[in-house]
Amino acid sequence: MDDVLGMLDRLFAADADRWTADASMWWDTFYADRSKPVPFFVTKPDENLVSSIERGLLAPGRALDLGCGPGRNAIHLASLGFEVDAVDLSPAAVAWGEERAHEAGVDIRFHCGDAFTADLVSGPYDLVYDSGCLHHLPPHRRVSYRDLLDRVLAPGGHLALTCFAAGAMGSELSDEDFYREGRLHGGLAYTPDALRWIFSDFTEIELRRMEEQPPDAPVFGVSFLLTALLQRPGR
C-alpha cells in the first residue's frame, strides 16, 4: 500500500502546491512574508469553530489542529482549556505559531512534519480540527486521512473541518483528471455530498457554508469554504 501511495504521489511531483513532505520548502516560502494579505494570516479563529463551542457542540478535551499554519485555531482552543497538539509541514509556519502562542500565553505542543506518514502525534483526541488541509490532498491521500482519523480520533470524538466549496473556490476536475494532468490546481473543491461520502460512517452534526465575516469581526469567515462538524461512531 505504501508503495502504491508513493507512486501516486510522484505523479504530482511537478506541482508546486503538492502536499507531501518535500513541499515544506514551498510552504516556507509562502509563510516567509507575514505581511502578505493572505486571509488566514489573521490571528482570528474560524467562525464555525467558535460557533460550535459556544453552542455546546464541542467541549474542552484533547485536540489536534491538523495543518495548523500560524496556529490561530490552536491558540483559540488552548485559551478555552483544550489540550492541544498542532502539526504542519512548514517549519516557518510552526515557528510563527509558537511565537503567537507565547504572546497569547497558552501552551500548545507544535509538531513539524507530515502527520500522514510519520508518527508525529498520538491520540486519542476528542477533536481533530482541519482548517484547509483536506482540499490540498490528492485524491488517493484521502485513504491516509481516514487512516489518521482511525488511529488518533477517539470513539465518539469529533472531526471539524473547512475546505474549498464547489462553485466558489478550488478545482472541480474529476479525480481521474487530476492524475492525467499531474496538478492539484491550487486545491480540490468539495460538495456537501462528496464530504458525506468520504465520511459516510460519521454522524453529521452540521454541514454548511462558512459565514462571511466583516474585516473588523472577532472571527474569521469567508463564504468560499464549506464547514463540517462530524462525529465518529463509538461512545
Q: What is the pLDDT of residues 191-211, one digit of tens each?
A: 999 999 999 999 999 999 999
Q: What is the grid cell recorded at 123? A: 491520540
User: 2-35+44-231 in CATH: which number?
Assistant: 3.40.50.150
Residue 11 cell numbers, joined: 505523479
Spans of all domains in the chain: 2-35+44-231
Q: Which three cell numbers stand for residue 120?
A: 508525529
Question: Cα–Cα distance between 175 and 94 in angstroms, integer?
Answer: 31
Residue 123 has pLDDT above 90, yes or no: no
Question: Residue written as cell 509556519?
Answer: 93
**Whole-number average pLDDT of the chain:** 91
Degrees, nearest 5: CA angle 20-156-127: 45
How far apart (Å, rounded) are the C-alpha atoms in residues 185 and 181? 9
CA distance 202 to 232: 5
Contact assessment for residue 2 and residue 138, using Cβ atoms and an 8 Å cutoff: no
177-181: long-range contacts, CB 8 A cutoff, minimum separation 24: 178/138, 178/139, 179/8, 179/11, 179/139
What confidence score (pLDDT) does residue 12 get? Answer: 81
Q: What is the pLDDT of residues 14-54, one digit of tens each?
A: 664 544 545 677 777 778 788 888 788 889 999 999 999 99
pLDDT band at 217 (very low <50, low <70, confident <90, very high): very high
**Stretch 77-93: mean pLDDT:** 95
- Is the separation of the CB atoms in 127 and 202 below 8 Å? no
Count of other CB atoms within 10 angstroms of residue 235:
9
Q: Which pLDDT value is given to residue 14?
A: 63
For residue 42, the model assigns a pLDDT of: 87
